Chain A
Amino acid sequence: MILVQEVIHQIYFVMSAIVALLLLTRLFRRKSRPGLAYDIVYVYTIVPFLLRALHIK
C-alpha cells in the first residue's frame, strides 16, 4: 500500500514535468495566437508546474 502511494506520488511529479514540457513546446512552436499577451500567459503558466517538478514548491 505504501509502495502504491509512493508510485502515485512520483507519477504526479512526472505529470507536472510533462505539462511543463508541453507548455514550453507550445510557447515556442505554435501557429496560432502569437501575440505578446499569449506569450506572457504561457511563461506564467509554466512556473507552478516547473516548481513542482523540480521539488521546490
Chain B
Amino acid sequence: MKKQRFWPIMMILLGAIYFLLPLFATFEFSLRERRGEYSFDSYNYVLSDPQFRDSFVYSVALALATIVVSLILIVPTAFWVHLKLPQLRPVIEFITLLPFVIPPIVLVFGLIRIYSRPPIVLVSTPALLVAGYVVLSFPYMYRAVDTGLRAIDVRSLTEAAQSLGASWLTILFRVIFPNLRVSLLNGAFLTFAIVLGEFTMATMLNWPTFGPYLALIGQNRAYEPAALAIISFGLTWICIGLIQLLSRGSQEQGQLAGTR
C-alpha cells in the first residue's frame, strides 16, 4: 500500500516545490521595502489604499456575473453539440479558441467601434465589459464542459430523463448540471482568475477594475507590485475556495447517475 503512494506523493511534492518557490521569491522581495531589514511596509501601502479594496470588489462582482453568463451560454451549447450536432463540434471549438489568437487590444477596439454608436450603444455600461470577459472565458469554459460531458454517459442520462417525461430545461438543470459539477466548478475557477487579472479591456473601456489598478502600482514602484502580487494571489485563492465551499452545498442533492 505504501509503495503505491510513493509516486503520487513525489508528484505532488515536486509540483509544490515548482509552484511555491517563485511565490516565495516574490514574497521575500516584497519584504525588502525598508532598507536593511524585513518589514511589511509594502503591504501596508497596498492594504491602506481604498482603491485596492474598491477595484478588487468590483472585479469580483464582474467575475461572478461573467461566470453566470458564460455557464448559461456554454453548457447548453456543449450539451447540444455533444448530443445532437457532433458535426458542428470543430466549428464550435474553433470559435471558442479564437479568443486566444485575437489580440485583446484588437477585440476591445472592435467592441468600442461597433457598440459606441446607434443602434446599439453599449459602451457606457459595464455589460459590454462583461460580454468581452465572457468571450475571453470561452476556450476554458467550453473545454472544461466538453471534457466533463465526455466523462459521463450523456446519451443514457438524457434518454432516461426523457422517458421519465422531463423537459429539456429540467434535463439541463436537474440532470446535466449536477453531473458536471466538477467541470463547471473548474471552468468557473478559470473564468474567475481571468476576469480578476484582465487589464486591456478594462482600461480601454474605462472601468475601475483590479487589472488597471495592478498596472498603476506596477509603474515605477519596486516593492509594492510584489506585495500586490502576493496579496491578490492569496485573495483570489480565498475567493475560489469560497466558490468551492458554496457549491459543495448543492452536492448533497445527489447525482442521478454517479460516475464515481
A associates with B: no
List residues of chain A with CB under 8 Å of any chain B CB. none
Q: Write the residues of chain B forming the contact surface with A, with a CB cutoff of 8 angstroms.
A: none
